[in-house]
C-alpha cells in the first residue's frame, strides 16, 4: 500500500540525488559550480539522513556512495571482456613516420587522419555502465584480468555514477576506459599532510594515485584527491562511433572529463608539430603527462589494422624524455643563501632529465637528508618537475654498497667560518650563518640586487659577481656603481667590449622605480609583490623608511612578518648607511606608479584582481597593464582577499574558486566598459 509520507520522502530523496549529481558534475568536471560547498554539504547531509532511515531509497548511483563503503578484506579479480592493451613506444620522429608508413601500407591508403592525445601518467581503469549506471570498476591488471575497485572509484568526484542523458540515451552496456590521476598541486598537498602526520610520502603523483586506488577501505580513498580523464571504450552495446573523436565527444556528453589538449584531423606532419607544442606545454599542465598517444581516428580503419598480442597496430605512444632518472651522488656541499640559511646540495653525476642536464639537486635541509637517509655515493632517483629545482626523490636501496658516507651539517659556515646558529622553523631545524658580512651571503645579496626584477644590470651574471666579490671589488651594494671599465677589463670572462657594455648597463640601471629598489634590497619576507604593494602606498623611499609597522600592516596584502621585517630593516643603522651610499651614487628612484591617493576614485584602485581565460579584444598582459594604471594589484591566484576575477573564455578552476569565495566576476564586455569609464 502506498504511504503518502514515504512517497513524499522518496520524491525528496530522488530530487536530492538528481541535484547533488548535477552540482557534483558542475564542480568537478565543468569547473562551474553554482552553489557553495556549504550548501552542497547541507544537501548531501539531508540525503544521507533519508537514506539511513529509508535504505530502500538508496541506489548504487546515489551521491552518498561517494563517501566510501565498508572495508574489503581483499580485492576480487575480474576478467576484462576486451583486453586492456598497452601501447608501442616511439622515441623519435622517425619512429612515428614508420608507424604512419605501416598504417597506410596495411590499409592501402594514400593518407590518413590521426587524433593525438596527451599520454596521461596515472593508473588505467575500466568503468562499466549498465543502462547508464556505474556497476563495476576495475584496474588494468595484466591487461586480461584486473582487480575490482568499484567502491573506490565511486569516491572519485569526477566519475559519473550515472551517465548524463542530455544528448544521447544511455546505452544498455558501456565500458569506459581512462586514467586516474592526481594533479601536481594536490600531490604536493597530500604529501605535505602525510609528512606532518609522519607517514611515508609518495614518490610521484602516479604512485599516489595507484596507492589511493588500491585501498581496501574506500573511506581512505574518498579522502584522496583523485581525478580522471577518459580516452576510450571497451564493449559498447546500444551505441557506436565512427571515429575516436566522435567517441570522445559522446563521452563528454555522458558527463566524463575528457582532456582539453586533444587534436584531431591531423596529418602525420601536423602530429609531429603538435608533439612539439604539447612538449612545450608539458611543464605548465596541472597534471603529469609522459608523452602523446597518436591514434588512427577512423574506427573502421582501427578494426582493419587490428592488434598484436599486447598492443594495437592503430596507435602509438610518442614518449617525452623521462622526468625522473637515476644517477649517483658524488658529493654533498653546503650553500649559503642571501639570508644566511645553509642548504645542503647534492652534486650529481650529470644526467639528462626531461631534456635538461642536471648536475645538482637541492636536499632542502638536514631533516630531509635524515628522513630519506641520503648518503654520499648513493644511487638515487632524481626528479625535475616543471621549472622547479631538481630534487632527490629517493635513494635506490638495492644499490647500496655500504661504503656510502653519511652527511653531517657543518658546525661553522663553510665560507666565513663563523659558528652556525640552529633555529626551529615549523617542524624543521634551520641552520643559519648569522655573520652579516659573510662573503657567501654578500655574493647572493648582490646577485639579487642586480637581478632582472631588481636593478636589472645586464652582463653582471652570477659568475662575474662571484669573481668581483672574491677580488674585493664588491663589498657592498653601492660598489656596483663604482665599477670602472679599466678595472673590469681583463677579469675572466670580461673582454673590453663586455666591460663597456656592462658599464653602460650599470649607468642605465641608475634610474629605478621605487618598487624595484625596495625589492632589490632583499629584505626578509619582501618579494616582488610585497615591494610593489608598499611602493604603491608611499610616494618616496623616505616615507617608507619612516613609516611604522602598523601602517604597513594596514596595506592589503602585507602580512605582519613583512611589516616587521621592513621596519626592522630600515631602522638598522648599517642598512641606513648602505642606502645612503646607493643614493649618493647618482641613483634616481622614481615612483612611476601614480600615488595611492590619486587612485582612490576608480573602481579598480587598490583592488586585488586575478585574470583568467582567453580575452578576445586584448591580451591578458594588455589588460593587466591597463588595470595597473588604474592602481589595481594583479595577482596570480585566487584567495579570499581577491576583489575581482576577470574571466575570459575557457576560464577554468580559478572561476570555480572565485565562485566558491563569492568573489565578483567580470567578463570581457564588463571589463572593457568599466575600463573606458574609469580612464
| Positions marked catalytic | 119
C-alpha cell read off for 538: 608611499
Query: Is residue 454 a contact point for ligand IVH (CB under 6 A)?
Result: no
Query: Is residue 579 a contact point for ligand IVH (CB under 6 A)?
Result: no
- Contact range with ligand IVH by CB under 6 A, out of 112-120, 502-510, 551-559, 656-664: 112-120
| Three-class secondary structure of residue 674 per DSSP | helix
10 Å CB burial of residue 414 (0-12, 13-18, 19+) is: middle
Query: Is residue 666 a contact point for ligand IVH (CB under 6 A)?
Result: no
- Contact range with ligand IVH by CB under 6 A, out of 35-43, 61-69, 80-88, 625-633: 80-88
CB of 85 to ligand IVH, least distance (A): 4
Query: Is residue 230 a contact point for ligand IVH (CB under 6 A)?
Result: no
Query: Is residue 120 a contact point for ligand IVH (CB under 6 A)?
Result: yes
Query: Is residue 231 a contact point for ligand IVH (CB under 6 A)?
Result: yes
Query: Is residue 523 a contact point for ligand IVH (CB under 6 A)?
Result: no
Query: Is residue 85 a contact point for ligand IVH (CB under 6 A)?
Result: yes
User: Secondary structure of 167-206 in the HEC alphabet?
Assistant: CCCCCCEEEEEEEEECCHHHHHHHHHHHHHCCCCCCCCHH
Radius of gyration, CA atoms only, the chain:
30
Q: What is the DSSP letter of 307?
A: B
CB of 65 to ligand IVH, least distance (A): 25
- Contact range with ligand IVH by CB under 6 A, out of 119-127, 352-360, 574-582, 626-634: 119-127
Strand partners, 324: 383
10 Å CB burial of residue 294 (0-12, 13-18, 19+) is: buried
Q: Is the Cβ of residue 40 or residue 314 nearer to ligand IVH in the bound state?
A: 314
Binding mask 48-67 for ligand IVH (x = CB under 6 A): --------------------
CB of 29 to ligand IVH, least distance (A): 17
Query: Is residue 461 a contact point for ligand IVH (CB under 6 A)?
Result: no
Q: How far is the CA of 73 from the CAs of 69, 171, 213, 217, 588, in angstroms?
A: 12, 33, 15, 9, 73
Place of cell 530502500: 56
- Contact range with ligand IVH by CB under 6 A, out of 82-90, 214-222, 439-447, 579-587: 82-90
Q: Which of 312, 377, 594, 652 binds ligand IVH (CB under 6 A)?
A: 312
CB of 316 to ligand IVH, least distance (A): 10
C-alpha cell read off for 188: 604536493
> What b/e string do you get for 446-475 counting C-beta neighbours within 10 Å, with b at 16 or more?
bbbbbbeebbebebbeeebbbbbbeeebbe
CB of 652 to ligand IVH, least distance (A): 20
Q: Which of 119, 313, 516, 657 binds ligand IVH (CB under 6 A)?
A: 119
Q: Which of 180, 317, 506, 512 binds ligand IVH (CB under 6 A)?
A: 317
Write the CB contacts of 15 (distance below 8 Å, at least 6 apart in sequence). Answer: none
Query: Is residue 175 a contact point for ligand IVH (CB under 6 A)?
Result: no
Q: Which of 16, 228, 247, 293 binds ligand IVH (CB under 6 A)?
A: 293
Query: Is residue 86 a contact point for ligand IVH (CB under 6 A)?
Result: yes
Pairing of strands 342-353, 356-362: antiparallel
Rounded (to 5) percent helix, strand, coil in the chain: 40, 25, 35
Q: Which of 51, 61, 175, 179 binds ligand IVH (CB under 6 A)?
A: 179
Q: Is the Cβ of residue 278 or residue 638 nearer to ligand IVH in the bound state?
A: 278
Query: Is residue 140 a contact point for ligand IVH (CB under 6 A)?
Result: yes
Q: Report the run of H or E that residue 38 belongs to, with start and end.
A: helix 37-53
CB of 157 to ligand IVH, least distance (A): 20
Q: Is the Cβ of residue 232 or residue 648 nearer to ligand IVH in the bound state?
A: 232
CB of 264 to ligand IVH, least distance (A): 13
Query: Is residue 124 a contact point for ligand IVH (CB under 6 A)?
Result: yes
For 591-624, the DSSP string reads --SPPGGGGTTSTTTT-EEEEESB-SSS-HHHHH
- Taking the alpha carbons at both ends of the chain, their separation in whole angstroms is 71
CA angle 329, 182, 275 (to 5 degrees): 80
10 Å CB burial of residue 604 (0-12, 13-18, 19+) is: buried
Half-sphere exposure of 586 (CA within 13 A, CB side): 8
CB of 33 to ligand IVH, least distance (A): 27
Position with the least CB separation from ligand IVH:
124
> How far apart are the C-alpha atoms of 388 and 317, rounded to whole Å?
26
Query: Is residue 322 a contact point for ligand IVH (CB under 6 A)?
Result: no
Residues between 31 and 50 with contacts to ligand IVH, criterion CB under 6 A: none
CB of 26 to ligand IVH, least distance (A): 25
Q: What is the DSSP letter of 238?
A: S
Residue ranges in contact with ligand IVH by CB under 6 A? 85-87, 117, 119-120, 124, 140, 179, 231-232, 293, 312, 315, 317
Amino acid at each position: 500500500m502506498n504511504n503518502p509520507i514515504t512517497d513524499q520522502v522518496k520524491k525528496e530523496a530522488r530530487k536530492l540525488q538528481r541535484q547533488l549529481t548535477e552540482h557534483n558534475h558542475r564542480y568537478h568536471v565543468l569547473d562551474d559550480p553554482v552553489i557553495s560547498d556549504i550548501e552542497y554539504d547541507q544537501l548531501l547531509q539531508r540525503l544521507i539522513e533519508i537514506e539511513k532511515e529509508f535504505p530502500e531509497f538508496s541506489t548504487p548511483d546515489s551521491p552518498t556512495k561517494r563517501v566510501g563503503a565498508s572495508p574489503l578484506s581483499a580485492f576480487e579479480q575480474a576478467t576484462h571482456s576486451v583486453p586492456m592493451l598497452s601501447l608501442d613506444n616511439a622515441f623519435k620522429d622517425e619512429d612515428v613516420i614508420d608507424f604512419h608508413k605501416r598504417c597506410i601500407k596495411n590499409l592501402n591508403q594514400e593518407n590518413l587522419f590521426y587524433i593525438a592525445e596527451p599520454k596521461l601518467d596515472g593508473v588505467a581503469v575500466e568503468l562499466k555502465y549498465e543502462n547508464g549506471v556505474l556497476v563495476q570498476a576495475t584496474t588494468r591488471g595484466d591487461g586480461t584480468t584486473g582487480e575490482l575497485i568499484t567502491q573506490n572509484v565511486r569516491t572519485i568526484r569526477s566519475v559519473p555514477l550515472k551517465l548524463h542523458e542530455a544528448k544521447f540515451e544511455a546505452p544498455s552496456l558501456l565500458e569506459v576506459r581512462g586514467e586516474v590521476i592526481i594533479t601536481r598541486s594536490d600531490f604536493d598537498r597530500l604529501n605535505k599532510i602525510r609528512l606532518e602526520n609522519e607517514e611515508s610520502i609518495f614518490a610521484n603523483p602516479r604512485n599516489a594515485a595507484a596507492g589511493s586506488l588500491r585501498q581496501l577501505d574506500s573511506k581512505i580513498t574518498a579522502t584522496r584527491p583523485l581525478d580522471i580523464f577518459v580516452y576510450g571504450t571497451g564493449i559498447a552495446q546500444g551505441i557506436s562511433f565512427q571515429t575516436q573523436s566522435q567517441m570522445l565527444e559522446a563521452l563528454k556528453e555522458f558527463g566524463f572529463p575528457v582532456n582539453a589538449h586533444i587534436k584531431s584531423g591531423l596529418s602525420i606532419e601536423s602530429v609531429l608539430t603538435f608533439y612539439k607544442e604539447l612538449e612545450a606545454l608539458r611543464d605548465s599542465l596541472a597534471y603529469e603527462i609522459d608523452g602523446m598517444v597518436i591514434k588512427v581516428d577512423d574506427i573502421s580503419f582501427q578494426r582493419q589494422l587490428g592488434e598484436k598480442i599486447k598492443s594495437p597496430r592503430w596507435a602509438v605512444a610518442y614518449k617525452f624524455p623521462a622526468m625522473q632518472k637515476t644517477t649517483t651522488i658524488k658529493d654533498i656541499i653546503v650553500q649559503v643563501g642571501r639570508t644566511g640559511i645553509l642548504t645542503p646540495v647534492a652534486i650529481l653525476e650529470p644526467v639528462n632529465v626531461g631534456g635538461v642536464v642536471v648536475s645538482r639537486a637541492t636536499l632542502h635541509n638536514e631533516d630531509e637528508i635524515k628522513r630519506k637517509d641520503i648518503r654520499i655515493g648513493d644511487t638515487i632517483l632524481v626528479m625535475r618537475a616543471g621549472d622547479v629545482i631538481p630534487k632527490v626523490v629517493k635513494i635506490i636501496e638495492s644499490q647500496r654498497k655500504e661504503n656510502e658516507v653519511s652527511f653531517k651539517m657543518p658546525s661553522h659556515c663553510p665560507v666565513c667560518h663563523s659558528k652556525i646558529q640552529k633555529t626551529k622553523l615549523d617542524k624543521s631545524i634551520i641552520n643559519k650563518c648569522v655573520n652579516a658580512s659573510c662573503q657567501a651571503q654578500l655574493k647572493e645579496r648582490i646577485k639579487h640586487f642586480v637581478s632582472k626584477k631588481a636593478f636589472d644590470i645586464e652582463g653582471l651574471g652570477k659568475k662575474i659577481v662571484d669573481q668581483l666579490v672574491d677580488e674585493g671589488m664588491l663589498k657592498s651594494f653601492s660598489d656596483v656603481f663604482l665599477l670602472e671599465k679599466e678595472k673590469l677589463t681583463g677579469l675572466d670572462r670580461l673582454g673590453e667590449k663586455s666591460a663597456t657594455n656592462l658599464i653602460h648597463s650599470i649607468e642605465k640601471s641608475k634610474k629605478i622605480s621605487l618598487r624595484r629598489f625596495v625589492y632589490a634590497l632583499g629584505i626578509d619576507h619582501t618579494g616582488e609583490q610585497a615591494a610593489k604593494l608598499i611602493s604603491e602606498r608611499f610616494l618616496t623611499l623616505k616615507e617608507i623608511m619612516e613609516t611604522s609597522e602598523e601602517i604597513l600592516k594596514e596595506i592589503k596584502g602585507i602580512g605582519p612578518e613583512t611589516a616587521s621585517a621592513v621596519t626592522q630593516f630600515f631602522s638598522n643603522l648599517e642598512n641606513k648607511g648602505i642606502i645612503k651610499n646607493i643614493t649618493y651614487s647618482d641613483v634616481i628612484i622614481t615612483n612611476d606608479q601614480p600615488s595611492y591617493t590619486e587612485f582612490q576614485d576608480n573602481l579598480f584602485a587598490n583592488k586585488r584582481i586575478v585574470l583568467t581565460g582567453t580575452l578576445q579584444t586584448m591580451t591578458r598582459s594588455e589588460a593587466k597593464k591597463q588595470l595597473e594604471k588604474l592602481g589595481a594589484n594583479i595577482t596570480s591566484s585566487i584567495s579570499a582577499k581577491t576583489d575581482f576575477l576577470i574571466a575570459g573564455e575557457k576560464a577554468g578552476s580559478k572561476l570555480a574558486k572565485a565562485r566558491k569565495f563569492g568573489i565578483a566576476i567580470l567578463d570581457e564586455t564588463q571589463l572593457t566598459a568599466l575600463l573606458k569609464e574609469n580612464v
